[in-house]
Chain A
Amino acid sequence: MSTLDIVDDTTGVSLDRRALRRSLHRVGRRQRLLSLSLVAPLGAFTLVFFVIPILAFFVFSVANTEVPRGLPLTTEAIKEWQGDGLPPEGVFEALTSDLENAENRTAVIGAARRLNYDVAGFHGLMTKTVSGLSRGALEAGAPVESSPAPDGFSIFGNDTTPTESTTAKPQTPIERLTGIDARWSQERYWKAIERGTWPVTPLYLLTALDLRIGDEGSIERVSPDHRIYLTLIARTFGVSASVTLIALILGFPLALFIKRQPANRASLIMFLVLVPLWTSILVRTTAWLVLLQGEGLLNDLIVMLHLSETRLPLIHNRLGVLVAMVHICLPFMILPIYSVMKGIPPSYTRAAASLGAAPARVFFKVYLPLVFPGLAAGVLLVFIMCLGFYVTPALVGGPRDQMLSYFIAMAVNRDLNWGLASALSIILILIVALTLLVFKRFASATLAR
């Protein structure tokens, strides 16, 4: 090993820090590489099977590929359009060709669905137009002379039998389209197609916030009867907050109670708290159904005791969701609170009491601040858990009790609207991230105090 030129700092000559840094780096590198190689498998696993799929999924929220894929000629032609009045005839012509291109039918359907997200009724318009065009072609005969885009027609013409027709008078593409549906003479449908050719679209993110791009091109709120997502976000937030609050109110006394029990009984009670935690959510939800449904045990009891003449609606509504969610979250509230309580030596409260503080004062001024980290951890844990709840509201809630997760799942599974699912997911993740951030701020602020 070569001797480094290191000079002692006490003799007044400064250290050769560069050489030292290099040497330190070299000495530690093998160790750091070993640490890294131990972490690498899980790091890579998480990156490949978690981070990347989620990020790739987020791309859907702005992806705008359907229209260029389904209507390639229109996408090209509509670039010429200035945006005021109807587009030039070439665009009509291109759309006609695109819609008559039978080989591209799946992509056309995709484009129709995408345009329908933007302007309601677009899907119907497209379907009608496609069938109208093919009917028109049958009547008019395939080789319509005025068509300057013979490609689409010839393809179309291949699978139909050209019939000689002299009665049909030649039509311009504009006449053909507006003849099939007058909506083609409205600017807003063409504007929607034009927005569909943008490289990225704000459509889904706007939709997820109950916003849309209006006919004048400015962002505006959707009509009141279409506003669902802000309510949904608020509901997700509200249900989560309610469950967290109830769990805190119920969990804190229980933690306090356990803390005051002798060790043996305390661990027995902890066992009882852990049993529901470890029991399958589906098993627990099943139990709640048996208990709360109209013909359920609780209603049996209520009727038997004449508390109410009719059976009460206890499930498939907000009440059922709150009860079942609190039941699931309570252990997660109790555990952190109890573990912090266990770590507080009794000497603090004894010291406070010996200094003459009244019991209530000791509790609120000394004990509660000491337990605070546990309360904060429990609240954070439960709140974040609640934000993502899916199974419980889906099984014990009514249609008006579903949260963001449910709508994400539905957008993908029922509507195949990946863009909206992605946008809603981004909003959900943002809420989670914001919550974590606020808590982090909050925690460092209270620590600094």
Chain B
Amino acid sequence: MPLNRNQFVRFVNVHKAYDVNTLVVKDLNLDVANGEFLTLLGPSGSGKTTTLMMLAGFEEPTSGDIILDGRSINGIPAYKRGVGMVFQNYALFPHMTVGENLAFPLQARGMSRADQKTRILQALDMVKLSAFADRRPAQLSGGQQQRVALARALVFEPSLVLMDEPLGALDKQLRDHMQLEIKHLHQRIGVTVVYVTHDQTEALVMSDRVAVFNEGRIQQVAAPAEIYQNPQTDFVAQFIGENNRLEGRVAEISHNESTIVLKDGTTVRSGSVAGTTSGEKRILSVRPEAILVGSDAANLPNSFYGNVKEIVYLGDHVRLIIPFGGPEELSIKLTHRRAAAISVGDQVSFGWKPEECRALV
């Protein structure tokens, strides 16, 4: 049993450099709770894989400590860590059958043949591949290979499983399906999962918590809803979901609201941000679906008029593009029904609640 349920895995002041010029991971402090599904989300090259490799034991931190279940694992070789891993290209052993692939970690642990057999059957059953034990990986579809990789990482019942973009090679439909399947599997067996992806939807769908990475630094760690609704930095707001970005300066601060003046002088009221002093530059962030149009908008504290520049058809909804705040444009999400009466060039009223809008650094 872990010493502390919430600190099953701990990164303490971890830095990582491959060369003297760049720190690929900078001052990483991160706790992963036992049984948690934590996702490292970030653009390509942001240091997610490196972080995972340090946890798996394939890279050593340049400085700092990684603690697993209360013990520092610095210097412990990968094969002694007992951490399961799923690779992006699955890394199934091509010369072994599915069954032999699954038997490999059990043989390494010196398990008896009979026990191996029951474990393998259980694991294959879990990923619904019982009939495929004698196939070679090359004889399986991409989705099936993915599931074998999953089963292989779980068959020796590790307490921690790492997955590095495991769905990256699948097509969209299969990916959507596997996201839920992995999520349900996690809920059923309760293993701790650290998952890496650059796909924000994947992160939001699957995770208990998401750690957003940018340039080797954690921007925010929070539950998916929190990350989406309450991004703490401009980067997080930009990276997760769609977002209108307006530059301005702080004019006034009250205890839970602030007033921002945009470049063309428009004043906007937003939820307050701690530590802000007037005159500072800030970036306002508003989600397209948070902006209301027409009569709904008229009574809001942030209420404006503008001319529709463009209407973009997007299948299940449309976007209005309206110039606003100087050089910028707002993108507004609207249902077909509401957009029916609007055409390009029309003047419309629009607005949003101050709490739907954040002034970010």
Residues of chain A touching chain B, judged by Cβ–Cβ distance below 8 Å, are: 1-4, 6, 8-10, 15, 17, 20-21, 23-24, 27
Contact = CB atoms under 8 A, between A and B. Distances in A.
A6 B20 contact: no
B6 to A, nearest CB: 23
B20 A17 contact: yes
A1 to B, nearest CB: 5
B271 interface: no
Nearest to A18: B20
Interface residues of B, number: 20
B351 to A, nearest CB: 37
B269 interface: no
Interface stretch (B62-70, B90-98, B156-164): B62-70
B61 A1 contact: yes
A139 to B, nearest CB: 87
20 contacts: A1-B61, A1-B64, A3-B63, A4-B15, A4-B62, A4-B63, A6-B23, A6-B62, A6-B63, A8-B26, A8-B217, A10-B215, A15-B20, A20-B17, A20-B20, A20-B62, A23-B17, A23-B63, A24-B18, A24-B62
Given A1-B74, A20-B62, A24-B18, 18 more contacts: A1-B61, A1-B65, A1-B72, A3-B13, A3-B63, A4-B62, A4-B63, A6-B23, A8-B26, A9-B23, A10-B26, A10-B215, A15-B23, A17-B20, A23-B63, A24-B17, A24-B19, A27-B60
B141 interface: no
B102 to A, nearest CB: 29
A27 B54 CA distance: 12
A12 B18 CA distance: 20
Contacts of A24: 17-20, 62
B27 interface: yes
Contacts of B173: none
Majority SS at the chain B contact face? strand
Nearest to A4: B63
A15 B22 CA distance: 9
Contacts of A15: 20, 23
Contact of B23 (A1, A3, A8, A21): A8
A15 B26 CA distance: 11
Candidate in B18, B20, B27, B61 with the most chain A CB atoms within 10 angstroms = B20
Candidate in B17, B18, B64, B215 with the most chain A CB atoms within 10 angstroms = B17
B61 A6 contact: no
Nearest to B60: A27
A29 to B, nearest CB: 11
Contacts of A6: 15, 17, 23, 62-63
A10 B26 CA distance: 10
**7 closest Cβ pairs, A-B complex:** A4-B63, A27-B60, A17-B20, A21-B20, A6-B15, A23-B62, A20-B20
Interface in B56-109: 60-65, 72, 74
